[in-house]
C-alpha cells in the first residue's frame, strides 16, 4: 500500500477521534454522562469492556457505581448499559422514537448478516420485513400450519429419545430445526445429518461469531473495512469472508431448493411456496419482494431454531440440578392428562406448572443475556444524565431477570415454583420474564411461536421421561459442572444426561404414535 493511502487513512482515523471527543468533552457540559469507568485519553474505556460473561460483569458494576446506568466511551464509541427493567422500559419503550434504531455493525455486514431484519435500522425497510414475519407467525397461521407441524415433529422427537437418548442434544436441534425448515421451505428433515439442517447450524454459528459486541476492531473503527485483507491487523476481513460462505448458504440455498421444486411441480406447501405463488398469481413478484421473503425466512428458521433448542437444553439441565422441579412437573402433567395419552396443543395453558417451567427457563438462562443492541437517533437527557446521539444501548437482560428484588434471593437457582401460588396457580405478582424477548418496537416477533413450542416440549418431556445425572462405574451420580459458552447467544457446554421412559405404557404410546406416523 502506498504511503499516500496510509496517510489518508490515518487522517480519517484522527478526524474520527476528534469528532467523537468533541461530542464527549465540548458539547452539553451542563449534564454529566452516566456513571462508568474513567477511561484513558483517546482510547477511553476500550480496555474496560469485559471480554467474558460481560452481562455478569455489567450487573456487578451496577453495585460498584450505585447506578443501573453504566456508560463507556470505547475509543469514541458511546456505550450505555441498562441494568434494570425501570431504565429499559423508560428508554426503550416509552422513548422508543429515540432508542429503536440498531447500530451499524461493519463486521456483521461484511459477513452477510445484513439479511437479518432484526439488525436493520428502524424505518420502512425494517417495517416491511417485520410485517411479513408477523403475518406468517400470526395466531391463525400458528394454529393452521406451525402447531400441527410441531405436533408431528414431536412424535419423532420422543421416539428418537427412546432409541438413542444419549444423542438428546442433536434430537432437540432436529425437532426445532426440522419443524421450521418444513414450515418455511417444505423440507422433510428426519436425519440428524441432513444437509440443510447442518447448513442452518453452521450458518447460525457463523452469525453468532461475527455479531459478538466488542470483539472486532472494525466495529469501533469502521474506516478499517476499506483496507485490504492482507494489511497487518486486518484479519477480521478474512474471518468475515470465511463465515459469509456459511451465512449465504443458509439463506440462499434453501430458497433455491423451493424454487427448483416449484418449477418441477414437486414443491410441498410452505411459507416460501405459498408466498412465491401468491406473488406470481397477483403479478407482484419482483427481485426485491423475493429478497424480503428470503431474508424473513432466514431469520425465522435460523434464529428460531437456536433459541428454542438452547432453552430446551437449559430446561433439561435445570431438571438435573433441581430434581424436585422434575417430580413436581411430572405430577402436575399426570394430574391433568392421566396416563393414556400424550400432551397436545389442546392442553396448552391448562397446566400451570408447565407454564412456570417455561418462564423459569427464560428467566434463569436468557439465550441473549445482553439482548440485541439499540442505537440512539438523537441525544437525550435521562435522570439528569446526557446520553449522546449514536450511542449503542444494551439492555442487560441477565441483570433484569436476576434481580433479587423481583424474583427472590435464589435467582441463580432453577426453581419454577417462584412463578406459582401455594395452590399451584400462576402467581401474577411475579412478572413474566418478557425481557427475554427484548423491549419496545424491537421486541422479538417470534415470541408467540417460541412460547407455544416450548410449552409443548416441556409437557411432552415431563409426561414421557425421567432425567438423571450420569453415574460412574460404582453407580454414583457424577457432579454436574456446566459452563455457558459466550456469544451473542449463549448456550451450555455439552453435558451428559441419563434419559429413560417413565413407564412401559409411555414407551408403547410413543412407539404406536410413531408407527402410525410412518404408515400414514
User: What's the CA gap between 379 and 439, in Å, rounded?
Assistant: 19
Q: What is the pLDDT of residue 189?
A: 86
pLDDT one-digit tens code per residue, 93-107: 999 999 999 999 899
Who wins on pLDDT, 233 or 253? 253
- Residue 451: inside a domain: yes
Q: pLDDT band at residue 1, thresholds of 50, 70 and 90? A: very low
Question: Domain limits at 232?
Answer: 31-519
Pairing assessment for the beta strands 392-395 and 77-82 based on DSSP bridges = parallel
pLDDT one-digit tens code per residue, 116-149: 999 999 999 999 999 999 888 876 677 777 888 8
- Residue 16: inside a domain: no
pLDDT one-digit tens code per residue, 421-479: 999 999 999 999 999 999 999 999 999 999 999 999 999 999 999 999 998 888 888 88
Q: pLDDT band at residue 22, thresholds of 50, 70 and 90? A: low
All cell numbers assigned to 454:
416450548
Q: pLDDT band at residue 488, thresholds of 50, 70 and 90? A: confident
Instruction: Give the domain CATH number at 208.
Output: 1.10.630.10
Q: What is the pTM of this model?
A: 0.91
- Residue 146: inside a domain: yes
Between the two ends of the chain, the Cα-to-Cα distance in Å is 66
User: What's the CA gap between 503 and 323, in Å, rounded?
Assistant: 18
- Residue 1: inside a domain: no
DSSP 402: T
All cell numbers assigned to 241:
469472508
- Residue 15: inside a domain: no
Residues pairing with 155 in the sheet? none
DSSP 387: E
Q: pLDDT band at residue 19, thresholds of 50, 70 and 90? A: low
Q: What is the pLDDT of residue 13?
A: 53
Give residue 457's region: left, alpha or beta (phi > 0; psi -120 to 50).
alpha
- Residue 116: inside a domain: yes
Q: What is the pLDDT of residue 301?
A: 82
- Residue 391: inside a domain: yes
- Residue 23: inside a domain: no
**Residue 252, burial from CB neighbour count under 10 angstroms (0-12, 13-18, 19+):** middle
On whether 497 is known to bind a ligand per the annotation, the reply is: no
What are residue 496's phi and psi, to 5 degrees? Answer: -95, 155
Specify the length of the chain in residues: 520
3-state secondary structure of 381: strand
Percentage of the chain lying above the pLDDT 90 cut: 72
All cell numbers assigned to 38:
474513567
DSSP 392: E
Strand locations in 319-432, DSSP E?
374-375, 380-382, 385-387, 392-395
Tell me how many domains the chain contains: 1
The arithmetic mean of pLDDT across residues 67-89, rounded, is: 95
Amino acid at each position: 500500500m502506498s504511503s499516500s493511502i496510509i496517510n489518508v487513512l490515518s487522517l480519517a482515523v484522527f478526524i474520527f477521534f476528534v469528532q467523537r471527543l468533541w461530542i464527549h468533552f465540548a458539547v452539553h457540559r451542563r449534564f454529566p454522562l452516566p456513571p462508568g469507568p474513567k477511561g484513558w485519553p483517546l482510547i477511553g474505556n476500550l480496555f474496560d469492556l469485559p471480554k467474558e460473561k460481560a452481562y455478569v460483569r455489567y450487573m456487578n458494576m451496577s453495585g460498584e457505581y450505585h447506578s443501573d446506568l453504566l456508560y463507556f466511551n470505547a475509543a469514541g464509541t458511546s456505550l450505555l448499559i441498562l441494568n434494570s427493567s425501570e431504565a429499559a422500559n423508560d428508554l426503550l419503550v416509552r422513548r422508543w422514537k429515540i432508542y429503536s434504531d440498531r447500530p451499524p455493525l461493519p463486521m456483521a455486514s461484511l459477513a452477510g448478516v445484513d439479511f437479518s431484519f432484526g439488525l436493520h435500522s428502524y424505518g420502512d425497510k425494517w417495517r416491511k420485513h417485520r410485517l411479513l414475519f408477523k403475518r406468517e407467525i400470526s395466531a391463525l397461521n400458528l394454529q393452521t400450519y406451525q402447531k400441527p407441524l410441531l405436533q408431528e415433529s414431536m412424535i419423532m422427537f420422543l421416539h428418537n429419545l427412546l432409541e438413542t437418548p444419549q444423542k438428546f442434544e442433536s434430537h432437540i436441534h432436529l425437532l426445532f430445526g426440522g419443524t421450521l425448515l418444513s414450515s418455511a421451505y417444505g423440507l422433510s428433515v428426519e436425519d440428524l445429518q441432513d444437509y440443510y439442517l447442518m447448513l442452518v447450524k453452521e450458518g447460525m454459528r457463523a452469525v453468532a461469531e461475527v455479531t459478538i459486541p466488542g470483539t472486532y476492531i472494525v466495529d469501533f473503527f469502521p474506516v478499517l473495512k476499506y483496507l485490504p485483507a492482507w494489511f497487518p491487523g486486518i484479519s477480521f476481513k478474512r474471518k468475515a469472508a470465511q463465515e459469509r460462505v456459511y451465512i449465504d448458504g443458509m439463506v440462499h440455498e434453501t430458497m433455491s431448493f423451493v424454487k427448483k421444486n416449484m418449477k418441477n411441480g414437486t414443491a410441498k406447501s410452505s411459507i416460501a411456496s405459498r408466498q412465491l405463488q401468491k406473488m406470481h398469481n397477483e403479478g407482484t413478484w419482483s427481485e426485491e419482494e423475493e429478497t424480503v421473503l428470503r431474508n424473513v425466512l432466514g431469520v425465522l428458521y435460523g434464529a428460531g431454531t437456536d433459541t428454542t433448542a438452547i432453552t430446551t437444553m437449559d430446561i433439561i439441565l435445570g431438571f438435573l440440578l433441581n430434581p424436585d422441579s422434575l417430580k413436581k412437573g411430572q405430577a402436575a402433567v399426570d394430574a391433568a392428562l392421566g396416563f393414556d395419552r400424550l400432551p397436545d396443543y389442546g392442553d396448552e395453558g391448562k397446566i400451570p406448572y408447565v407454564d412456570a417451567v417455561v418462564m423459569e427457563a427464560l428467566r434463569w438462562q436468557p439465550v441473549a443475556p445482553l439482548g440485541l443492541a439499540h442505537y440512539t437517533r438523537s441525544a437525550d437527557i435521562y435522570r439528569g444524565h446526557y446520553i449522546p446521539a449514536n450511542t449503542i444501548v444494551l439492555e442487560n437482560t441477565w441483570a433484569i431477570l436476576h434481580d433479587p428484588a423481583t424474583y427472590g434471593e435464589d435467582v441463580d437457582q432453577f426453581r419454577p415454583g417462584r412463578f406459582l401460588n401455594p395452590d399451584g396457580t400462576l402467581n401474577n405478582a411475579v412478572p413474566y420474564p418478557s425481557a427475554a424477548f427484548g423491549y419496545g418496537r424491537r421486541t422479538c416477533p417470534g415470541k408467540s411461536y417460541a412460547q407455544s413450542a416450548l410449552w409443548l416440549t416441556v409437557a411432552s418431556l415431563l409426561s414421557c421421561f425421567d432425567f438423571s445425572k450420569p453415574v460412574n462405574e460404582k453407580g454414583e451420580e457424577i457432579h454436574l459442572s456446566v459452563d455457558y459458552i459466550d456469544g451473542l447467544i449463549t448456550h451450555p457446554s455439552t453435558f451428559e444426561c441419563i434419559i429413560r421412559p417413565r413407564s412401559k405404557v409411555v414407551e408403547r404410546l410413543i412407539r404406536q404414535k410413531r408407527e402410525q406416523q410412518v404408515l400414514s
